[in-house]
């Protein structure tokens, strides 16, 4: 099976130290199968994001070695690096405003796991109950990078960046009522944040947030896992 329309970046790990992620939402199951076979033939780990359950089932049927990460809506083919065992504390803490943000949290966690980076997920600490976030501040103190996922008005990253000294990456999530739906309100709120130094990625872009964290980690410690 060939992929005439796909020009795979098989040197991304050598060039940038990053595993390429393939966007699966607008690809057919056959296209994903062919792409994963190409990664496998090149000896490279395959990561496909945004794969709907029915499409994922067809890919797994065609390639039994593919691993389904249902909560992240992702597929991988190839051995993942072993996650660091505690101690030490996780390098990255990933926070969510609510449990509806779990899919994005899981995509971030998987993308970092593909690079051997440990993740501490801190769920359901949205600012509607600010005490929930404040209670977690001692736990967050050991992480080197914080990634905050939030829908609705997207206030969590702004509040977090005003409380902690580490780099904070905000991920707007496409959940919420009315004008919040689709994540545009959260995105604009994060971009307009008055907390200095907050970094913001695109709506639902868990992979992008993970790679931003990876770049930051590598900038501080060149020997971070790849």
Q: What is the CATH number of the domain that holds 61?
A: 3.30.110
Quote the pTM value. 0.91
How many domains are there within the chain?
Answer: 2
Token pair in block for residue 217: 């980690």
Bigger pLDDT: 7 vs 202: 202
Query: Per-residue pLDDT for 4 more than 70?
Result: no
Q: Please write the tens of the pLDDT for every residue from 17-75.
A: 888 899 999 999 999 999 999 999 999 999 999 999 999 999 999 999 999 999 999 99
Query: Looking at the structure, do residues 210 and 113 belong to the same domain, yes or no?
Result: yes
Mark whether 107 and 195 lie in a shared domain.
yes
User: 145-200: per-residue pLDDT in tens?
Assistant: 999 999 999 999 999 999 999 999 999 999 999 989 899 999 999 999 999 999 99
Query: Is 155 a domain residue?
Result: yes
> Which one-letter DSSP state was computed for residue 45?
-
pLDDT for the residue 87: 63
Could you say which DSSP state residue 89 is in? P
| pLDDT (mean) for 96-100 | 93
pLDDT at 98 over 70: yes
Residue 178 and residue 97 share a domain:
yes
Q: Which domain holds residue 186?
A: 92-220
76 contacts 24 by C-beta, under 8 angstroms: no
pLDDT averaged over every residue in the chain? 91
pLDDT at 1: 47
| DSSP character at residue 84 | P
Q: Residue 14: what pLDDT?
A: 77
Question: Is residue 6 in some structural domain?
Answer: no
CA gap 131, 133 in Å, rounded: 5
Same domain flag for 62 and 169: no
Q: Is 50 found in the same domain as 23?
A: yes
- The CATH number that applies at residue 146 is 3.40.50.1970
At 200 the three-state DSSP class reads strand
Mean of pLDDT values over 114-133: 94
- Mean pLDDT across the stretch 105-122? 95
Beta strand segments in 112-181, E:
119-122, 145-150, 168-172
Q: Are strands 74-77 and 67-69 parallel, antiparallel or unpaired?
A: antiparallel
Residue 9 exposed, middle or buried by CB count within 10 Å (0-12, 13-18, 19+): middle
**Residue 100 phi/psi, 5° resolution?**
-70, -15
| Last residue in a domain, options 77, 102, 133 | 77
What integer pLDDT is reported at residue 178 of this predicted model? Answer: 92
Cβ–Cβ under 8 Å, residues 160 and 133: yes
pLDDT at position 8 is 79
Q: What is the mean pLDDT of residues 92-119?
A: 95
CB of 89 closer than 8 Å to CB of 142? yes
């Amino acid at each position: 099976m060939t992929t005439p329309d796909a020009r795979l970046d098989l040197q991304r790990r050598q060039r940038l130290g990053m595993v390429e992620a393939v966007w699966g939402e607008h690809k057919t199951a056959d296209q994903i199968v062919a792409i994963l076979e190409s990664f496998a033939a090149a000896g490279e780990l395959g990561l496909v994001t945004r794969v709907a359950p029915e499409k994922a089932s067809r890919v797994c049927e065609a390639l039994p070695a593919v691993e389904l990460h249902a909560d992240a809506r992702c597929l991988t083919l190839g051995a993942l690096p072993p996650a660091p065992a505690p101690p030490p504390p996780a390098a990255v803490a990933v926070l969510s405003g609510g449990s509806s943000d779990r899919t994005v949290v899981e995509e971030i966690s998987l993308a970092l796991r593909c690079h051997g980076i440990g993740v501490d997920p801190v769920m359901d600490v949205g600012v509607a109950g600010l005490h929930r976030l404040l209670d977690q501040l001692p736990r967050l103190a050991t992480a080197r990078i914080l990634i905050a996922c939030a829908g609705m008005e997207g206030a969590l990253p702004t509040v977090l960046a005003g409380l902690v000294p580490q780099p904070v990456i905000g991920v707007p999530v496409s959940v919420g009522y009315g004008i919040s739906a689709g994540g545009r309100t959260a995105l604009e709120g994060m971009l307009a944040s008055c907390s200095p130094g907050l970094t913001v990625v695109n709506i639902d872009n868990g992979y992008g947030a993970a790679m931003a964290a990876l770049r930051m980690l590598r900038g501080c410690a060149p020997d971070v896992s790849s």
